[in-house]
Structures are given as C-alpha cells and as structure tokens.
Structure 1
Amino acid sequence: MMKRLFAFFALFVSLTAFSYARDLPDFTELAEKYGSSVVNVSTTQTVRNTNVFPQIPNLSEDDPMYDFFRRFMPPNKGKKGPHEFQSRSLGSGFIISADGYILTNAHVVDGADEVTVRLTDKREFRAKVIGSDPKTDVALIKIEANNLPRVTIGKPDQLRVGEWVAAIGSPFGFDNSITAGIVSAKGRSLPQENYVPFIQTDVAINPGNSGGPLFNMKGEVVGINSQ
C-alpha cells in the first residue's frame, strides 16, 4: 500500500512539475531573433583630478611600513597640482535603424571623449553622440554601418503588471546576456524625479546592462534598462 501511495505521489509531483514547466515562457526565439540587435557600448573619458595627496613618509627601506606606503600611495606620490587619467565604462545599447542609429542611456555616454560600439559579430565602430537627454536618461548615438539588424519598438503603455519581460545586455562586459522576470509595477518615479515614469521589474540587472532593451513577449522593446 505504501509503495502504491509513494508511486502515486511521485507521479503527481512529476505531472505537476511538467505542467508548471510547460506554462513558463520560452525566450529562445526572442534571444535568437533580436540578440544581434543589442550592442556593447564602451566609453573612455579623461578625468582631471585636482586633489593634493600627502607625501610618502620619510621611512627607511628597512621599516616594515615602507613597502605598504610604496604600494598604496596614489600615483602622484605627493606631487601638487591637478593630474589626468583615463576612466573607462561599459554599457549596452540597441540598434533602432539598419543604418546605425542606436539608443542607450545618457549616463553611459555622458562626458565621454570616445564611444565604441561592438556588435555581436565582434566588429567595432567609433560612435558619435547625436543627442542626449539626462532627464529621461536616453541618448542617441550613430555608427557608420549599413544593413544592421534592428529591434521593433513596442508600446510601453500597454504593458500589464505581472507580464513577463526580458532584458538583453552586456553585464560586466559579457555580450548578449539575457535575463527575464515580470513587470512589478508601472508609473514609478524616483525621489525628486517626476519627469518620466519608470517600469519596475524583477529582472536581474547588473553593471553593464544600462542602456540595453527591455522586451515584451512579442519581441518588442518596451523600455531601456537603467542602473
């Protein structure tokens, strides 16, 4: 009797798991069709630092603290006056036209001296910033290329809370990574930022995802991920 009950229970659990898995959304077609429309955006910026750092203490090389100060003091080692260094950052973007127009976050390209776009086929292009709006955190950039794969823009106002969505981007520089989740809320606003309503989701977003697209289940872009 116990064996029969156990067998029935195991069958019930198996059928329940199968039914649950069958009801989960499948993002394979979306990733295959639109993954190549998502790009890696990297920037370099010259940062001018005006801080004045203290001199390394006058220690002998035999002093146990000498090696510590030698390793961890700032590069200018007490030199007064401003100095410059190159700052690099990573983000994502998505192609909206076959002739090279790309949307990304404004903060990704803000102040950049050089913007580079890398496609999924590993080709790299120097990009020009066409326009940027810090309030909406949206920027339009352009590369000189043709016949590029592009996304389809959807209607964010038709999103429903609880609906499945997916993000594709380059977290930590890893190209074409996809994560999925649901719409948690609509019309969110940050403190003192009432200019644009945000879509809140539980999709995993990491550094480098900023500027990448948020897709609905139809494969339409309904938002830009920002972190």
Structure 2
Amino acid sequence: MRASAVNLDPGVRRIPYEPAYDVREMVTVEDVMEREGLGPNGAILRAIDILAEDENLERLVRGLESVDADFIVVDTPGQAEAFALRASGRRIVGAISARFSRTTAVFLGEVGSDVLVEDFLTAALLAKIIELKLDVGVVPALNKADLGGGERLKEIWTSVLRGETRDLILEGGGVASEALSELLEAIKEFRTAQRVALISAREERGLDELFDMLVEVWCACGDMT
C-alpha cells in the first residue's frame, strides 16, 4: 500500500516531509498578512476562508485526485478554532469527503507529564464536537509515546471514553467535579470511539493499531472498543 502526505496548512513554514500536494501553492498566511494588513491570527482565518472558496475547493480536490497513492494523509492546521470548528473548515472537509468517501479525521493528543483526567474529558468532548462539525468519523490518538508514560495516559483516556472515571473525578468535590461528571455522562451517550491509539511519529510506533482503527471506521466492521 502506498501513502502520500498533503499539506493543508497555509501558515506552516517548514514541514518534515515532501508533500504530494501543498495548498501554499494557492495561498499562504504571509501573503495574506502583507496583502490585507492582518496579523497572524486574522491571516490564518482569512487564508482558510480563501481555501474554502468555490474555485479553490475545486482546485484542491483536483490536486488530491492527482496524488498517486492508496491512502492520502492530509495535514491540517493544528488550531481547532481556526479550522475544524469553523464553517470554512467544514466546507473544505465536506468537499474532500464528497470525493473520497472514506475520509476520517485523527484527533491527536500528546503524551505529557502533567495531564489530568479533566484534560482527557475536554479532549474527548472536543473530538466529538469536531466529529459533529466536520461530519466525518474521528479516531483518537496519543502521539509522542517515545517520551514514556504513554500507556498510563492511554488507560486514562480510554477510561474517560468508557465512562469509568466518575469516582476519580468526584474525589476533588465541588461544582467543577459535578460539571465534569455530567460531561462524562454526555460522552458515554455519544457512542464515541472507546479505543485510543498510542503512537510515536518519531519512532513509527503504534501506526498499525491506528490503521486498524481507521479500517474499523471505514468498513463498519468494528466498534473500536
């Protein structure tokens, strides 16, 4: 199987791969800043809006169709509020998924030493919001497994997705704990993914598990439990 990467981030300056297609051929954040007098934040929003215009969407889809690969990995802007949570992001993903029926999003978290249960609750809820906004399946993954401690964090995130952390949340007490518990119940009702892929992009670890989860989304032959 052959895979190719596509860059969908108009603001990135350097990428650690050779993209098979690059939207910076159409628009860059730096050009928008200079042309329209915007700051970096406004320019990234404006650049994504430009990509979502009809003519550019057609050009983007044609560019993806020209990629000679079995699978295309689309590298999107990392700021959810700039892409995944905006109408322009939904429009771009909608155009892609209309042409490529097995389009699926990977929600990337990362291994860290100071991650709390509350952080995983927030991540699980945000992943579901993105799934609803973009109207595509979402697979959760924890990157930077090579830093250590990933298995424990994967266990916590999986427990959150399965609604098994209520007692742990309530240990702190207070209004915030009650609110988090209510969020946990909502996540359980969403019937969201209940497995988390633990990966290391640097060491290429866990990618088989991630691919298996993607296949389960595509073929509806599993529930990612």
Q: Does TM, normalized by the shorter one, top 0.5?
A: no
Q: Which has the higher strand share?
A: 1
Whichever structure has more helix as a proportion of its residues is 2
| Larger Rg over CA atoms | 1
TM-score by length of structure 2 reads 0.22
- Greater relative CO (CA pairs within 8 A, separation 6+): 1
